[in-house]
Every structure is written in structure tokens, then in C-alpha cells.
């Protein structure tokens, strides 16, 4: 399986994440990707290519123009206002306030376009987010040209980003862009299966009312886990999208038995629906030692999960999402890819 990877991800390296009231080195850090690259090479998956330049057209189709303009210019504006540190949201529109009036002040704009203050923007964030999307697009191109599957080693990740909000370490929803491009290239029904520990709120949101893209997510229950305000089982889609949003929230301590049962249920529904292309939001933070998550998967379980996904025999693009137990991120990610190929 070919991997698409851009070293430009390194341009996104904020120094600070607000976690438990402290500034810590962000969990989502550049070295994550180095562990995955090393493991790919160690296992002989050494077909690793740089992506083609990003294609803005599908990104503009899916995302809000004001949001894209904000991401492109935020750092410059922030600095122009004389802000000393990285961009961190401090004021967000809350209950009882206007949700649709965009401030002119950069601090206000940041709050408008952000949903989670753990995610900082720094000078290279936009360039890195574009390189991440470029990896996803090239992986899609490779599969559209006939490959069974491809792996986009995306960083920063994407599944928490909506049409007009960043957060959860995500800026451009790479998996959603791939799904849209599968559609544009003629796939009638595209399924997105999100196995990251966190609910893929951005992806759900982008396709909630659509009947051409099914979204299924296995994640920590929102009562207990970020993103807290979306991801309940009763969110099933709306309008013609009704029935095509499948949430599998699971409680703290969930192990592979219950997790794999949810995975099989999602796979069964994707198959029954008749998907002709598949996008995997490949987070490995369901791992037992992940520092910010609470499922209990072992490394071997990721191989088994990959095998189950592979049995669908669909053209598949894997987009890297989360996973923060850094040394194990490479092993667990590559285990999914190897299981898929078996
Ligand atoms: C792509 C992805 O996996 N995003 C995850 C975003 C998680 N945001 C919340 C982080 C909360 C960190 N608090 C950690 C406390 C550790 N004791
Ligand atoms: Zn995650």
C-alpha cells in the first residue's frame, strides 16, 4: 500500500496546549508522524511518496469561504494586533449570544471559528493543514487510478474540523475532502468509517443531511469524552440523510470485545447500504496506553480491526487522525494497514 506524506507537517508545531489548566507541549506533535514513518519502513511498507500540490477546488466546495480566508490570514492578523503568543481562543459564542455575527477583531474571529481552545494556531499552521489535505487528495487520486487502497499520513488531523470551525487539533477535514472527491469522481455511495477514539463531529456535521455519504463513528461517549457536545447514538442524520449517521458511543474502559462488535455492526451497515468507496478516519487513540483517551485496545487488536475493514473489499483511503501514545502510534497504525492487506 502506498503512503502519501509531506514533511511540511512540521510547519505546524505550536508550543502550547491548554490542558487541565496548564500549558503543556501539545499531545498532537510532529514526532507522531516520525514514529509512523519509521514503522512503515521497518515493516517494508516503504512506498512513501510526497503528495501533488493541494487542489483547492474540492476544499472550497465543502468548506466555508470565510473560514478558509480566516485560516489563511489569522496568524498575520494576530501578529499585526501585537499579540505576543500563539493563537488560542478565549471567547466563543455561547448560549444566548449571536452565533452568526462575525467580529472584525481577530480575537473575536478566532472565537467564532474555533470550537476547542486546546488547539493553537501558529505561523505554519495553514501551510501544514494544506499539506495534510494534499496527502489525502493524492491518496484519493491513487485509489481513483485503480489502487485497492492508499494511506494518507495526514498531520494535522482533520475529523474534528467542520465547514467553518477548527478544534481538536484539526483544521481541514481531510476525510471529508476525500469522500467528496470520491463522489466527484463517480462513486455513488461513499462510507466514512471513523475509528479514532474521539467522535468525528466535523465529519458528521458535514454530511448530516446527505444521502450520498454515510458516516459511522466508534468513540468515547460524549458525556465522558471530548468533543462532549456531539456523538450520541440518537444522532442518526436528518432529511434525506436520516439513517445514514451511525454513532457508537462507548464508555470508559471499553475493550476490544465491545469495540469490535460495534465495528462489525458498522461494517454490516456499510455493506448493506451498498457503499462503493470507503474512507477510514484512522486514529489509534483507542489504544490502552493513550494519554488522553480511555479505551483498552491492544496493538494486536488494531491488526484484527484492519482485517475486518479489509473484508469489505472496497476501494479504501486511510486518513491519519489521532493517537498520542507516541511510541505505539507507529505500531498501531501500521498494524491496521497490515491487517487490511491480509
Ligand atoms: C484528532 C484527535 O484525536 N483530537 C483529539 C482532541 C482532544 N482534545 C481534548 C484534549 C484533552 C486533553 N486533556 C488531557 C488530560 C490528560 N490527563
Ligand atoms: Zn482522537
Q: Residue with the nearest Cα to atom 4 of ligand 1?
A: 168
Residue 291 in this model has a pLDDT that exceeds 80 = yes
For residue 297, which of 337, 325, 265 has the smallest C-alpha distance? 325
Task: Please give the Cα distance from 250 to 165 (Å, whole number).
Answer: 25
Ligand 2 centroid–CA 290 distance in Å is 10
- pLDDT value at position 342? 74
> Mean pLDDT throughout 92-101?
96
Instruction: Give me the mean pLDDT over the 78-87 stretch.
Output: 97
Residue 264 has pLDDT above 90, yes or no: yes
Set of cell numbers at residue 7:
514533511
How much is the pLDDT for 155? Answer: 98
Q: How far is the CA of 219 from the centre of ligand 2 (A)?
A: 9
221-246 pLDDT, tens digit per residue, is: 999 999 999 999 999 999 999 999 99
Q: Is residue 9 flagged as an active site residue? A: no
Q: Does the beta carbon of 17 lie inside 6 Å of ligand 1? A: no
For the segment 235-264, the average pLDDT, to the nearest whole number, is 98
List CB-based neighbours of ion ligand 2 within 5 Å: 196-198, 283, 285, 322
For 91-152, the DSSP string reads: ----TTS-SS---SSHHHHHHHHBS-TT--B-TTHHHHHHHHHHHHHHHHHHHHTT-SEEEE
pLDDT at res. 276 = 97
Please tell me the residue having the least CA distance from ligand 1 atom 16: 292
191-208 residue pLDDT tens? 999 999 999 999 999 999
Q: Looking at ligand 1, which residue's alpha carbon is closest to its atom 3?
A: 322
For 337, residues 6+ apart whose C-beta sits below 8 A from its C-beta are 1, 45, 151, 306, 318
| Mean model confidence pLDDT for the chain | 98
Say whether pLDDT at 329 is over 80: yes
pLDDT-above-90 percentage for the chain: 100
Ligand 1 pocket check for 322: Cβ under 6 Å? yes
Q: How confident is the model at residue 31 (pLDDT cuts 50, 70, 90)?
A: very high
Distance CA 290, CA 197 (A): 10
d(CA 97, CA 89) in angstroms, rounded, equals 17
Residue with cell 478516519: 281
Q: Could you tell me the domains of the chain?
A: 2-11+25-51+124-341 (3.40.800.20)
Q: What is the pLDDT of residue 130?
A: 98
What average pLDDT score do residues 97-120 get? Answer: 97
Amino acid at each position: 500500500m502506498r503512503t502519501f506524506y509531506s514533511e511540511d507537517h512540521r510547519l505546524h508545531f505550536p508550543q502550547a496546549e491548554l490542558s487541565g489548566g496548564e500549558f503543556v507541549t501539545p499531545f498532537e506533535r510532529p514526532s507522531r508522524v516520525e514514529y509512523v514513518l519509521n514503522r512503515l519502513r521497518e515493516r517494508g511498507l516503504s512506498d512513501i511518496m510526497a503528495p501533488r500540490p493541494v487542489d483547492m477546488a474540492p476544499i472550497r466546495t465543502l468548506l466555508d469561504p470565510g473560514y478558509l480566508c480566516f485560516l489563511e490570514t489569522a496568524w498575520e492578523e494576530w501578529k499585526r494586533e501585537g499579540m505576543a503568543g500563539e493563537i488560542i481562543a478565549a471567547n466563543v459564542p455561547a448560549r444566548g449570544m449571536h452565533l452568526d455575527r462575525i467580529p472584525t477583531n481577530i480575537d473575536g474571529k478566532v472565537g467564532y471559528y474555533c470550537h476547542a481552545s486546546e488547539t493553537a494556531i501558529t505561523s505554519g499552521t495553514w501551510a501544514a493543514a494544506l499539506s495534510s489535505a494534499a496527502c489525502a487528495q493524492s491518496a484519493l487520486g491513487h485509489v481513483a487510478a485503480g489502487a485497492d487502497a492508499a494511506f494518507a499520513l495526514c498531520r494535522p488531523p482533520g475529523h474534528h474540523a467542520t465547514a467553518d470551525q477548527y478544534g481538536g487539533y484539526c483544521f481541514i477535514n481531510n476525510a471529508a475532502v476525500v469522500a467528496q472527491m470520491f463522489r466527484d469522481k463517480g462513486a455513488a455511495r461513499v462510507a466514512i468509517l471513523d475509528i479514532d477514539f474521539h467522535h468525528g463531529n466535523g465529519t458528521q456535521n458535514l454530511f448530516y443531511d446527505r444521502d450520498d455519504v454515510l458516516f459511522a463513528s466508534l468513540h468515547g461517549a460524549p458525556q465522558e469524552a471530548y468533543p462532549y457536545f456531539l456523538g450520541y447514538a440518537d444522532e442518526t442524520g436528518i432529511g434525506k440523510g436520516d439513517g445514514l449517521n451511525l454513532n457508537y458511543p462507548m464508555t470508559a474502559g471499553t475493550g476490544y470485545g465491545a469495540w469490535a462488535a460495534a465495528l462489525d455492526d458498522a461494517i454490516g451497515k456499510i455493506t448493506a447500504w451498498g457503499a462503493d468507496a470507503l474512507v477510514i478516519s484512522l486514529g489509534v487513540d483507542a489504544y490502552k496506553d493513550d494519554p488522553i483517551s480511555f479505551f483498552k485496545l491492544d496493538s494486536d487488536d488494531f491488526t484484527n480491526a484492519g482485517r475486518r475493514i479489509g473484508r469489505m473489499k472496497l476501494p479504501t483511503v486511510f486518513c491519519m487522525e489521532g493517537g498520542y501514545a507516541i511510541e505505539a502510534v507507529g505500531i498501531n497504525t501500521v498494524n491496521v494497514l497490515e491487517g487490511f492487506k491480509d
